Structure formats: structure tokens, C-alpha cells
Structure 1
Amino acid sequence: MSIVIKTAEDIEKMRIACRLAAEVLDYVAPFVKPGVATEELDRLCHDYMVNAQGSIPAPLNYAPPGYTPYPKSICTSINQVICHGVPNDKPLKNGDIVNIDITVIKDGYHGDTSRMFLVGDNVPSHAKRLNQVTFECMWVGIDQVRPGGHFGDIGAAIQRYAEKAGYSVVREFCGHGIGRGFHEDPQVLHYGRAGTGAEFKPGMIFTIEPMINAGKKEIKALNDGWTIVTKDRSLSAQWEHTVLVTETGVEVLTLSAGNPARPEKWLLD
């Protein structure tokens, strides 16, 4: 494993790319409502990235080994979909929960973030709770990042918080280093043991993006080659930020005006 330590120039470029990714979510938020198809959200985001930002949608035609090229510019994961949901012509329904995952490329650098949206005014309380706990899991993970700590600290804290709430943590998908590459070392697990893994060092940039299931942790891949769902059809939620290890702690790079702030009062206090 070779973790890239970013230079000052790299970090400035990453700040820009990450801010742009977050601003795509700010832009699309008012359109996430009942009756709107996810392929329309994809079109809106694509046009905003390309025409307003001058950025490139990283997922479009992305094809890691063993995968067919991803056909859209964003991922939209609804209800029991854990990740990599492909936008389509089915309208969102009142009561749905949906994760929108955005990665842009600007001047050769990737900015990556995702956010949950509650669709309409009839979202069940159990879905709202899952969403809130998952959001807090992300921040619990971010709070572990400081020079001298270890990547295992992130996973241990997230797993402890999620399981305390009665939920499970997806094992097969994780956070990752990011920069000029979409997915770089290290893998950032959302479960595990504190004090293990590589040590945090200033200049490291990576995502923290826990996928939390209301039921069991097991997953199932759909026939499109991309969409991952919960095997037991329970709800799943995900939040994602890209973070930088600084000399004194952590800087969240994917904050924007429309991004929910770090919780002041925690659901599991």
C-alpha cells in the first residue's frame, strides 16, 4: 500500500474540486422531490457540472477491471439500495430516502461527496432515524482523524456507534484515498479495531463514507453490474465527506453552504 502525501499545490486543487462536488448537491437539492425521476436528477447534475462548473463527471463511463462502463454521471441509491444505484426513469415516491453521490474532476483532481435526501413529507420515522444515525456515523469517523492516529480508529468508532443504534455496517465497500486518482490507497474501512492500520500523516486525503443498513450487513449485486442492495431488503443509508489530515487535526474539504453542519446534539447521546 502506497498512500500519496499531497503537496500544498495538490491540496489547493483538491479544495476546489471538493467544493465543486458539494455545490452540485446544493444545486440539485430543490429538485429532489416526489415525481421526479433520478435520470432527470442525473441530467441536471451533468449539465451543471459541465456547463456551469467546467468540471467532468467522474462516474460517467468509469470502468474498473471487471465492470462494464458506468452509464451515468451520478449515483442515486434509493431505500434498500446501498450504493452505485443507476439513475433511471422511475419517479421518486413520497417517503423514499435517496443517496446522491457526486464525484467531479477539476484540473485533473477528484472531489467526492454524497448526501442523503428525504423525499416528500411522509418519510417514516424509522427511515429518518437511520439517516440521522448514518450522518452521525460519518462525523464520528471524521472526529478520529488526527496525526498519529490510525485508520482503524475510524472503522472502530463507526462500527461501535452504528451497532449501538441496532444497525449493521456494510463490509464490502469502503472509503478510499483520492486525488488525481478516483480511488487511491488506502481503503478506509467503516468497521474494525482501533489502533490498527496505517498512521495518519499530514497531507493524506481520503473519503469517509459509511454505508449503514437497518437490517443485516449482507449485500446483493443486481444484474446491471453496478447496483448493490441489502440482501434482506432492509433500508440502507450513506453519507460521505472527503477529508484532509492537517498538522493539528482534520479539514473537511467537501463542505458547502447547503451541507448540514456537524451535529451539535447526537441521537445516541
Structure 2
Amino acid sequence: MIEILNPSDLLRAKDTGALVADILQTLKNRSTVGTNLLEIDRWAQSMIIEAGAQSCYVDYEPSFGRGPFGHHICTSVNDAVLHGLPYDYQLADGDLLSLDLAVCLGGVVADSAISFVVGDTQPPESVELINATERALSAGIAAAGPGARIGDISHAIGSVLSGAGYPINTEFGGHGVGSTMHQEPHVPNTGRPGRGYRLRPGLLLALEPWVMADTARLVTDADGWTLRSATGCRTAHSEHTIAITDDGAEILTLPRHARP
């Protein structure tokens, strides 16, 4: 299903996007050396409930997971890159943490992810991974607009990631959002320009470049959810929900203080 939102829906989507972004920024600020991943999940739960929103993850039970997920946020550390199930682990100096959050507010979903290094030690390879996904995300957003095609976005993202020397996995990528978290169209992190669904105003897309330093192969943890690099290398993940507008694309998941 592909949903095209009306102007009223888009106003609610902006509120949802701001909430997601603000929660992620708060969690980033709180995630210090010694913070437990289960604490992060509890903080996310509290902020979601306080805002009158609903988690998209607690009851999420897709075919690829051992569901339901049962937590409010994905916490992926170091070689974990997607669907990281929170568990009893205390963050260490230099850990690369990815937080992925999707909530529904007012009947509209927004989805976003950030990656950052915890503590004072900032390994250059980790910083480079994060920067590459952020640059790829910016490139994908710049390629989005009415009349553009999904392949244009995928090509822009993939060009940055491959140009930085990273292998690209296409099993998981961006996707449409709306009244539910995962919708068509699928947005692979590499592709051919001029191909695929033509974008229309009112379409919401969650674009999410992610990479692993030296492999494109994923392995699944015994928890049935957490996806890791097959070689144990570090990973990074950046994601924004955008709205296609009459003249381009608007990022919905910016923190309120960062909005123009």
C-alpha cells in the first residue's frame, strides 16, 4: 500500500516527526558511559507515553523477526546495525550506538535513526562510517521531489556509500510511511536513476542509509531480531522521514531547535 497524505495529515506528520527527533536527541544526550540499553528503552517508553503517542515497535511482529519486538526503541551497538533488541548491557567508552525510533501520533507515523560514538574516545573509522551515512542521507533527500523516481534517491544514496568504499546491502532499506510504519515503496540504498515509483506530493518516505565497514552480509542474533555484520566490523545507520512537497522534500524528523 502507498498512502498519499492530505494537508491535514501532513500537519500531524510534522508533529510526529518533531516528537521522534526530540526523543532521539534527548536519548543521545543521556547515553553516556555506563548507561544501560534497558534504561534507554525505559526513557523512550516514558517520553512516548507522556506525549500521548504510541510505539510502533512493542507489538511489531514481521516475518523476519521473532516477534513481537516487545521494546520501544532499537539499540544497536558496534557490529549491530539494525533491529537491535535492548538488553542488559552498559555502554563503554568508544562504543558506536545506533538508535532507531518510530512512533505514531495523531494517526501518523514518523521514523528516524541516529548513530554516534559514546564517551571521549572517538575511533576515526567509526566517525567515518557515521559521516558516510549522514552524507548519503543528505544526498538522497536532495534527489527527492515531485516527479523524481525511487531509483533517483537510491542512486544518490548508493553513490555516496560506494564512493566511500563501503559494500551495500539491499535486503533492508528505506520505505514509505503513513498510518503504519512500513509501507511501499521500498527504497533500496543503491539503484539506477530514472527507475521505480514516481514521487508525488503528500508521500512520506523514511530514507535510511546504513553500512557495515567491510561486508554486505548480515547475521541474526539468537534473540531473533538483532542484525549484525557477518565479520564483526562496525556499522552505522542514519534515517529521516521526509514529506514530498510541491517543490521538493521537507525533513520531518529534525529536532525542534534545529528547524528553520
Superposed pair shares fold, TM > 0.5 = yes
Q: Map 1:47-62 to 2 at 5 A.
A: 47-51=46-50, 53-62=51-60
Aligned position for 1:165:
164
User: Is residue 26–residue 258 contact of structure 1 (8 Å, CA) maintained in 2?
Assistant: no
Q: Map 1:238-257 to 2 at 5 A.
A: 238-257=237-256
Q: Give the secondary-structure state (helix, strand or coil) at the position aligned to 1:19.
A: helix
Q: Give ranges in structure 1 of 5+ residues lacking alignment.
A: 262-269
Q: Name the CA distance, whole Å, in 2 between partners of 1:146 and 1:13.
A: 20
Runs of at least 4 residues of structure 1 off by over 4 A?
Answer: none
Q: Map 1:256-267 to 2 at 5 A.
A: 256-257=255-256
Aligned position for 2:221:
222
Q: Structure 1 vs Structure 2: percent identity of aligned residues?
A: 31
User: Is residue 102–residue 113 contact of structure 1 (8 Å, CA) maintained in 2?
Assistant: yes
1:88-110: CA deviations, max 9, x gaps? 11101100111111111112211
Aligned position for 2:103:
104
Aligned position for 1:95:
94
User: Is residue 6–residue 203 contact of structure 1 (8 Å, CA) maintained in 2?
Assistant: yes
Aligned position for 1:208:
207
Q: Give ranges in structure 2 of 5+ residues lacking alignment.
A: none
Q: 1:66 Cα deviation (Å)?
A: 5.7
Aligned position for 2:129:
130
The residue type paired with residue 57 of structure 2 is P
Aligned position for 2:72:
73
Q: Name the CA distance, whole Å, in 1 between partners of 2:139 and 2:254.
A: 16
Aligned position for 1:86:
85
The residue type paired with residue 110 of structure 2 is G
Q: Give the secondary-structure state (helix, strand or coil) at the position aligned to 1:54.
A: coil
Q: Name the CA distance, whole Å, in 1 between partners of 2:212 and 2:112.
A: 19
The residue type paired with residue 167 of structure 1 is Y
Q: Name the CA distance, whole Å, in 2 between partners of 1:139 and 1:45.
A: 26
The residue type paired with residue 242 of structure 2 is V
Tell me the C-alpha RMSD between the 2 structures: 1.5
Q: Map 1:7-22 to 2 at 5 A.
A: 7-22=6-21
User: Is residue 18–residue 256 contact of structure 2 (8 Å, CA) maintained in 1?
Assistant: no
Q: 1:258 Cα deviation (Å)?
A: 6.0
Aligned position for 2:140:
141
User: Is residue 141–residue 154 contact of structure 1 (8 Å, CA) maintained in 2?
Assistant: yes
Q: Name the CA distance, whole Å, in 2 between partners of 1:26 and 1:149.
A: 31
User: Is residue 97–residue 117 contact of structure 1 (8 Å, CA) maintained in 2?
Assistant: yes
Q: Name the CA distance, whole Å, in 2 between partners of 1:258 and 1:171.
A: 34
Aligned position for 1:121:
120
From the superposition, tell whether residues 203 and 226 of structure 1 become closer, same or farther in structure 2 (CA, over 3 Å). Answer: same
Q: 1:18 Cα deviation (Å)?
A: 1.1
Q: Name the CA distance, whole Å, in 1 between partners of 2:13 and 2:27.
A: 22
Q: Name the CA distance, whole Å, in 2 between partners of 1:29 and 1:210.
A: 19
Q: Name the CA distance, whole Å, in 2 between partners of 1:237 and 1:65.
A: 24
Deviation larger for 108-117 or 241-250: 108-117
Aligned length: 259
Q: 1:185 Cα deviation (Å)?
A: 1.0
